């Protein structure tokens, strides 16, 4: 809608105004040194601005300000401790697209070699990042538009010539249950330096695939002894059921939707805990809650 073109170089960006050759034609440098290191990650996001990958991370230019969006996930871009960063010698191969529902900015980037194995998902509404690792390495991303259906984001695989649908609610991979895993942020009660007694963990899940066995394994890290719990649920196709799970389970009508709530006993002391959940099958994690109590600080005696 405006007569302004935004051009990116590696470490600088410019606004080009007017028509080439006209008296009002001008090129102005934007007050930023971020530019763009991966041209295929440039996406104009309606209502927000232009998002792209720079040498500092993902940045948003809204026509006035150019600011970083990815400071909280910086280790996944440049690396830190045991987290490997992106392969910046091949980062120009990165690819991005948008997902309309939910509204996401999606970027796939290389970590080892030239294929895109780390996928960054930015929730435009909640302004929050999720790091995804898919079973297949991606070669490109695209948004398919159709006048008869909702737009859908797809990815092409680096090997095999497959086209995969993303964030469409697909329950299987060509008829096979999909393995998954997720790690949540560390949990603490108050300061990470203050010990706490962790009594139990409650995980609330929803299973939407009828007659499919779903196995969910939770692992609690950061405790003196690793706590693991394996849960297996089978969603019946129809009918009414109650009482076959921990805290019961229910089928709502003939939809085969099963509600499962798992109570995991911990009964250990630790400063903080990290929760890993993994399994197979179509699962919606609706909520997690730790129950614990902060403990008093221990008196530390020092000798001078």
Report d(CA 157, CA 164) in Å as an integer.
8
CA distances to 136, 138, 140 from 116, in Å: 9, 5, 8
Among residues 271, 109, 253, the alpha carbon closest in space to that of 191 is found at 271
3-state class (DSSP) for residue 181: strand
Among residues 102, 288, 287, 281, the alpha carbon closest in space to that of 207 is found at 281
The DSSP bridge partners found for residue 197 are: 269, 293
Q: Rounded mean pLDDT of 253-280?
A: 76
Report d(CA 80, CA 11) in Å as an integer.
23
3-state class (DSSP) for residue 76: helix
Q: pTM for the whole thing?
A: 0.78
Q: Which residue has the tokens 């999909």?
A: 178
> What kind and span of H or E run contains 85?
none
Per-position DSSP letters for 196-250, written without gaps between them: EEEEEEEEEEEE-STT-EEEEEEEEESSSS-EEEEEEEE--SSS---SSSTT---
Q: Give the rounded percent of residues in the chain with a pLDDT score beyond 70.
A: 84
Q: Give the rounded percent of residues in the chain with a pLDDT score beyond 90.
A: 36
Has residue 252 got a pLDDT over 60?
Answer: no
Confidence of residue 210 (pLDDT cuts 50, 70, 90): low
Has residue 177 got a pLDDT over 50?
Answer: yes
Q: Which residue has the tokens 């129809």?
A: 238
């Amino acid at each position: 809608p405006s007569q302004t073109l935004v051009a990116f170089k590696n470490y600088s960006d410019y606004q080009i105004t007017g028509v080439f050759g006209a008296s009002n034609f001008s090129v102005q440098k934007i007050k930023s040194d971020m530019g763009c290191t991966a041209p295929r990650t440039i996406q104009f996001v309606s209502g927000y601005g232009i998002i792209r990958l720079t040498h500092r991370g993902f940045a948003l230019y809204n026509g006035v300000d150019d600011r970083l969006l990815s400071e909280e996930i910086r280790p996944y871009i440049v690396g830190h401790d045991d987290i490997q960063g992106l392969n910046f010698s091949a980062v120009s191969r990165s690819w991005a697209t948008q997902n309309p529902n939910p509204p996401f900015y999606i970027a796939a980037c290389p970590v080892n070699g030239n294929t895109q194995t780390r996928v960054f998902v930015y929730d435009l509404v909640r302004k929050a990042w999720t790091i995804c690792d898919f079973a297949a390495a991606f070669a490109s991303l695209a948004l398919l538009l159709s006048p008869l259906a909702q737009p859908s984001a797809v990815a092409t695989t680096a090997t095999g010539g497959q086209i995969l649908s993303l964030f469409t609610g697909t329950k299987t991979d060509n008829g096979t249950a999909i393995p998954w895993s997720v790690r949540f942020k560390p949990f603490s009660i108050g300061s990470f330096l203050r010990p706490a007694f962790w009594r139990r963990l409650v995980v609330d899940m929803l299973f939407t695939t009828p007659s499919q066995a779903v196995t969910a394994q939770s692992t609690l890290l950061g405790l003196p002894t690793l706590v693991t719990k394996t849960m297996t649920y089978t969603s019946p196709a129809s009918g009414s059921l109650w009482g076959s799970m921990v805290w019961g389970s229910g089928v709502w009508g003939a939809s085969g939707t099963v509600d499962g709530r798992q109570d995991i006993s911990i009964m250990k002391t630790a400063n903080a805990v990290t929760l890993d959940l993994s399994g197979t099958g179509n699962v919606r994690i609706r909520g997690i809650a730790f129950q614990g109590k902060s403990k008093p600080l221990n008196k530390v005696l020092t000798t001078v």
